[in-house]
With several copies, the nearest count.
Chain A
Amino acid sequence: MNNSSSSKTEDKIFRSVAFAAAALSAAAVFLIILFLTWPALKALLEVPVAELWHTRWNPAGYTSQSWGIIPFVAGSLWVTLIALALAVPVALLASVFSTQFVPEKLRSMTDFIFGTLAGIPSVIMGFLALTVVGPLIAKVFGLNSGLTVLNGGIILSIMIMPTMVSTLADAFEKIDPIYAEGALALGATKWQAALTVLYRFVRPAFFASILLSFGRAIGETMAVIMAIGNVALIPRSPLQPGETLTGVLAIEMAETVVGSLHYNVLFLIGLLLLISTLIVNYLSELITQRTRVKVQ
């Protein structure tokens, strides 16, 4: 039975098809970078950086357009930092609880619930921000409108938390029980074991997931648009409205003339977002690799 030649052709076809797919993907990567950078570069040629780093955004001004993106940067940072501040501690505690104290049988169900939470489409979260959280904030703080950066931060925190919980819970789960038992056998309590030993295994995943969440929060568009009022001003407190980098893209892109300066500046903002998320992702990857606990 000589089948080695037929298996060789099978092999060749398989390899080439896979290669083609990989090449196509590589091409996509290249195109993304190219098509975002090109208009952005054009914008940079026309608008000096100093003008971008400015607090006034007025693309429609007939006499003097101004392209200050600080309000959006500020809006994005506000919502993102509020979201992280709320989500990070809750996620850590919830993941400890779900892996260390919830009976094993319930755990896959809660995994599913957290997964579901992560999968709720952002418009629905925006809808909730608009109809529930916003009015609640207005009521509590006595505001006319609850559409504030706080609203955006809260809704974002709910959106990023489940992924953090799953990531951390996975990391906790992956730890061989012998480590917890090792600590217990030395006289530690369960909570001490989780905090002093298990946490050390999870720490890289923890920091990486904070960074990833930062990236996700800063990139989130629809929910935030629906939550924070979209006013191109620098919010001075969590109870003021604002607008984010993503928000301005979603809202203004459709109204611009293709190839106009406005269009190009929006691409520049897009590129900025791209670069900042790339940096954040790269850093998180770096953390994971540098600090991965090597267990033999």
Chain B
Amino acid sequence: MALKIEATNVSAYFGDKQVLYDINLGINEAAVTAIIGPSGCGKTTFLRTLNRLNDLSPNFKMVGRITLDGEDIYAMNPVDLRRRVGMVFQKPNPFPMSIFDNVAYGLRLRQIKDREFIRSKVEHALRSAGLWDEVSNRLNHSAFELSGGQQQRLCIARAIAVDPEVLLMDEPTSALDPAATARIEELILSLKEEYTIVLVTHNMYQAARVSDYTAFFLNGYLAEYDMTDNIFTKPRDERTQRYVTGRFG
């Protein structure tokens, strides 16, 4: 299995405050890698370094090296990087446009004008996100008419419409009810054939259910990284053990 993303000695700071310490982590291609850990341990920060979204914070600083297919992401144009590394957020964030325009947004940003092409891309993305059947007859309705779970699937469709290689997901189900969560999890499982997925989740059991690899972060350090099967049945690190068995204080 090939490494799609490789973080080498990554440390990150907000102002004077160091929030990631010397992370070394390889993300495998066409697999789901979950990042778990207590609140504030740096999961989100790490995820957002991968598409350089942290760079928007003026006081953010990163040292170390992150590569995408071997290429340093800081040698890339961030706009190109973000085309290749899509992101899905904690709360569904559909744009105030129609369902169709939401999915087409990324394509139009790239100056694509061919209507037929856009149409087919949108349909394909919605199908992949398991949303087509529910929305095909109301593509020009506002995206806000959808339920929370549908909105989140729309956001996933929007992300995959531009053919990214990697999908970053930051607690994508934390705002959803269990039924919608289950659908998203099924979706994640079905998407991993085509995309490399990095999933931050508060819900340890979610990591257990959907991921192939699990990274356990603690106080900004990568405490353990292993196959998910091992993390949840025989973690090597004492702290991981304590965390997954809910004995963390």
Q: Which residues does A use to contact B, with CB under 8 Å?
A: 1, 3-4, 7, 103, 176, 178-179, 181-189, 192, 196-197, 200-201, 293-296
For chain B, residues 84 to 102, give those with C-beta under 8 angstroms from any C-beta of chain A.
86-87, 89-93, 95-97
Question: Given A4-B80, A184-B56, is A178 in contact with B91 using a C-beta cutoff of 8 Å?
Answer: yes
Q: Say whether B96 contacts A182, CB under 8 Å.
A: no
Known: A183-B95, A185-B159. 7 other contacts (CB 8 A): A1-B110, A178-B90, A182-B89, A186-B86, A197-B95, A200-B95, A296-B144
A185 to B51, CA, bound (A): 7
Assess whether A184 is in contact with B82, with CB atoms less than 8 Å apart: yes
Is there an interface contact between A182 and B93, defined as CB atoms closer than 8 Å?
yes
Determine if B82 and A185 form an interchain contact, defined as CB atoms under 8 angstroms apart: yes
Q: List 9 A-B contacts (CB under 8 A).
A: A3-B109, A176-B91, A178-B91, A178-B93, A181-B53, A182-B87, A186-B158, A187-B109, A296-B144
**B92 nearest CB neighbor, chain A only:** A296
Number of A-B residue pairs having CB atoms within 8 Å of each other in the complex: 84
Residues of the A chain whose Cβ atoms lie less than 8 Å from the Cβ of B151: 296
Partner of A186, one of B56, B91, B162: B162
Return A205 CB to nearest CB of chain B, in Å. 12
* In contact, B109 and A192 (Cβ under 8 angstroms): yes
Report yes or no: B110 in contact with A3, Cβ–Cβ below 8 A. Answer: yes
Q: Which of B77, B86, B155, B159 contacts A4 (CB 8 A)?
A: B77
Q: How large is the interface on B (under 10, 10 to 19, 20 to 34, 35 or more residues)?
A: 20 to 34
When A176-B91, A184-B53 are in contact, do A4 and B79 touch as well, CB less than 8 Å? yes
Using an 8 Å CB-CB cutoff, how does the interface string of B36-51 with A read, 1 for contact, 0 for none?
A: 0000000000000001
CB-CB under 8 A from A293, the residues of chain B are 96, 144
Q: Is B111 an interface residue (CB 8 A)?
A: yes
Q: Among A1, A4, A186, A201, which residue has its beta carbon within 8 angstroms of that of B96?
A: A201
For the complex, what is the distance from the CA of A186 to the CA of B156, rounded to whole Å? Answer: 11
Considering the complex, give the chain B residue whose CB is closest to the CB of A182: B93
B83 interface residue (CB < 8 Å to A): yes
Q: Which of B131-148 contact A (CB under 8 A)?
A: 142, 144, 147-148
Closest to B144 in A: A294
A182 touches B155 (CB 8 A): yes
Cα of A196 to Cα of B158 in the assembled complex, Å: 15
Q: Is B213 an interface residue (CB 8 A)?
A: no
Q: Are B95 and A188 interface neighbours, CB within 8 A?
A: no
Interface centre among B58, B77, B83, B105 (most CB of A within 10 A): B105
Q: Which of A181, A187, A196, A200 contacts B162 (CB 8 A)?
A: A187
Which of B89, B91, B109, B155 has a CB less than 8 Å from the CB of A188? B109
Q: Which residue of B lies closest to A192 (CB)?
A: B109
Task: Give 1 or 0 for each of B58-80: 1 = CB within 8 Å of chain A CB.
Answer: 10000000000000000001011
Q: Which residues of A contact B235 (CB under 8 A)?
A: none
Tell me if B148 and A296 are in contact (CB < 8 A). Answer: yes
A7, B91: Cβ atoms under 8 Å? no
Question: Shortest CB–CB separation between residue A257 and chain B, in angstroms?
Answer: 55
Q: Give the CA-CA distance A24 to B67 in the complex, in Å.
A: 45
Smallest Cβ-Cβ distance to B81: which chain A residue = A187
B26 at the interface (CB under 8 A from A): no
